[in-house]
Structures are given as structure tokens and as C-alpha cells.
């Protein structure tokens, strides 16, 4: 699971980890993954 590993990291690091997660499952979206909208609550 990714969440427990990144929960205490700074927000930019969390966003980067989530972008890498998306690329892992669908490398075709690498060009658009920078548009990932992460809402921190």
C-alpha cells in the first residue's frame, strides 16, 4: 500500500508519488499526468 508510506511526506512529494503510481498502471498518460489534481484535506 502506498498511502502509509507517503502520508507523512511533504505535499509535493506526495503528489509526485501519486503521479508515479498513475504511470505504473498506464504509461500512456505520462504526458498528461502532471494535470493530476490532488486535494489535501
Q: How far apart are CA 41 and CA 26, in angstroms?
A: 26
> Three-state DSSP class for 26?
coil
What does the CA dihedral 17, 2, 5, 32 come to, rounded to 10 degrees? 10
Q: What is the pLDDT of residue 4?
A: 95
pTM: 0.65
pLDDT at 13: 93
Question: Which region, left, alpha or beta, applies to residue 34 given φ > 0 means left and ψ of -120 to 50 means alpha?
Answer: alpha
User: pLDDT, tens digit, for every residue of 1-41?
Assistant: 889 999 999 999 998 898 888 777 776 665 655 666 777 77
Amino acid at each position: 500500500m502506498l498511502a502509509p508510506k507517503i502520508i507523512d511526506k511533504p505535499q509535493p512529494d506526495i503528489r509526485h508519488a501519486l503521479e508515479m503510481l498513475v504511470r505504473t498502471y498506464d504509461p500512456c498518460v505520462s504526458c498528461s499526468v502532471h494535470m493530476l489534481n490532488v486535494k489535501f484535506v
